[in-house]
Amino acid sequence: MSPILLVAVPLLAAFLSILSKKLAPYLLLAVGVFNLVILFFIPLGFEIIGGFNQPLGINLLLDTYSKIALILINVLIIVIAFLNIGKYNKFSSILLLAMGGLNGLVLTNDLFNLFVFLEISGIAAYLITSSNKKPVKTFHYLILGAVGSSLFLFGVVILYSMFGTLNMVDMIQKIQITNNYKELILPFTLMFIGLGVEAKLLPFNSWVKGVLGKSNTLSGPMIGGVYAAAIGFVLGRYINNLFMFEGNLLIVVIALLALGILVGEAMAFSSTKVREILLFSSIAQASIVALLFVNGIVLWAVYYIVAAALSKTVLFLVINKATKEVGSDEISKLKGLFSNNLVVGVAFTLVTLSVMGLPLLVGFVVKLNFLTELAVNNQIWLIILILVASVVEGIYFVRMLVKLWYPEDNVISVKYNLSFKVVFVVIALILLTFGTYTAPLKNYDNTIDTIQEVVDNG
């Protein structure tokens, strides 16, 4: 079994699914399950493609880091596709394209190949957001995405002209030999901006409000959950191994990310629409993830990405379904949403409390551990910043929850299917289980990302 199947099979199925629109959603589910099954039979390590050995050919790297990312991406796409069967059937081919693109994104070890997968998954993302029926917002996203990936390519090409290679491991080795960081500032900045557009980092994220603020049960969890997670993993890989920011550039990056956290939380705090609260909190979370990777905290950043992706999937599904039936996402219009939906309400509350980082839930365990590691690194200011952000987050989430639970005189009834309820309860239980039973989380350490090890050992 080869990891290339994880990319090739969805792309082939995306092509075949155009032939039969009726079968397309089932083909999507089948390919998703196929990917998950073969993932457990593929041995960890490099996959050489076409018989060209490193560093000449393109190669894929499957290690624990990318395996966690792949399981998360494929499971979430299956769940989202299953919940949207019947409503968004014509998007099945696009979801297959997204699956192939995102799998390739986290697997590839080649810089130009990453640009190609960035564009494939980007094109799928623009098409997914077209389901919002807000073409101007989609157009805005497309323009920003295209400029971002062009800047990324610009950076990659400058690196190629300097080192004559596109293989990530080979490039890191050559950078270590030359050890001239000043010349690398320009390409690294360009690549960081390129990834930052997709990763929703300030100030490259002006598309997010238009896209997620008008999202539905397909585009909300896909862009806010799956894409955010996949790009988070890629950004982590690059920050951790290739960029290794130093000097003034490090200060600028940390300042930008810290600003991203503050602005994201402040905007969420001042917003009165539920979807906007969720999307601004996602922007803050993306900045926290990047900040953790900059500080070399890999394992807990990975768990943070996984927890955030699961939580945001539930939150966007609950709210977007309610918004569609009520016709507004203003908190005042959604008052009492959970008074008739007890199960959904409890699951939503548990997930929100996990995002806030309350004890007994996985969000608390993750926050506690990465704050401890930041303390070991003597990053007191960052700890204060994240704690302040958590307090603000706590205030606006609790305020939102209280209004969603108590109806006053506002009567709304939103019907959630059984399949929706099962997904919400399962995800809430997962967050609760790993929040109380933390031993499995500590089986790994920061070496789950093996690139540095490969670079050191050749």
Partner 1 sequence: MIQYAAIILFVFGIYGLLTNRNIIKMIISLNIMEVGLFIFIISIGFSYDGIAPIITSASGSGLIYVDPLPQALVLTAIVIGVGTTALALAIAKSIHNKYNTFNLDEMEEEL
**Site residues for partner 1 per CB under 8 A:** 112, 115-116, 119, 122-123, 126-127, 130, 135-136, 138-139, 142-143, 146-147, 150, 153-154, 157, 160-161, 166
Q: What whole-number distance in Å separates Cα of residue 303 and Cα of residue 207?
A: 26
What's the min distance (Å) between Cβ of 145 and partner 1? 8
**Cis peptide leading into residue 203 (ω within 30°):** yes
Q: What whole-number distance in Å separates Cα of residue 199 and Cα of residue 228?
A: 6
What's the min distance (Å) between Cβ of 130 and partner 1? 7
Provide the token pair at 280: 């601004």
Between 142 and 289, name the residue whose CB sits nearer to partner 1.
Answer: 142
Between 48 and 414, name the residue whose CB sits nearer to partner 1.
Answer: 48
What's the min distance (Å) between Cβ of 61 and partner 1? 21
Between 104 and 122, name the residue whose CB sits nearer to partner 1.
Answer: 122
Residue 377 main-chain phi, psi, to 5 deg: -80, 0
Between 107 and 156, name the residue whose CB sits nearer to partner 1.
Answer: 156
Q: What whole-number distance in Å separates Cα of residue 76 and Cα of residue 222?
A: 8
Between 38 and 56, name the residue whose CB sits nearer to partner 1.
Answer: 56
What's the min distance (Å) between Cβ of 49 and partner 1? 15
Residue in the structure block whose two tokens are 């009520």: 326
Between 170 and 373, name the residue whose CB sits nearer to partner 1.
Answer: 170
Q: What whole-number distance in Å separates Cα of residue 5 and Cα of residue 193?
A: 30
Q: What whole-number distance in Å separates Cα of residue 94 and Cα of residue 99?
A: 9
Residue 1 is which amino acid? M
Provide the token pair at 375: 């303390």
What's the min distance (Å) between Cβ of 438 and partner 1? 43
CB 74 within 8 A of CB 65: no
What's the min distance (Å) between Cβ of 105 and partner 1? 14
Between 116 and 343, name the residue whose CB sits nearer to partner 1.
Answer: 116
**In terms of C-beta density within 10 A (0-12 exposed, 13-18 middle, 19 or more buried), how is residue 54 classed?**
middle
Residue 44 is which amino acid? L
User: Which residue from 16, 24, 124, 30 is spatially nearest to 78, judged by alpha carbons?
Assistant: 30
What's the min distance (Å) between Cβ of 445 and partner 1? 37
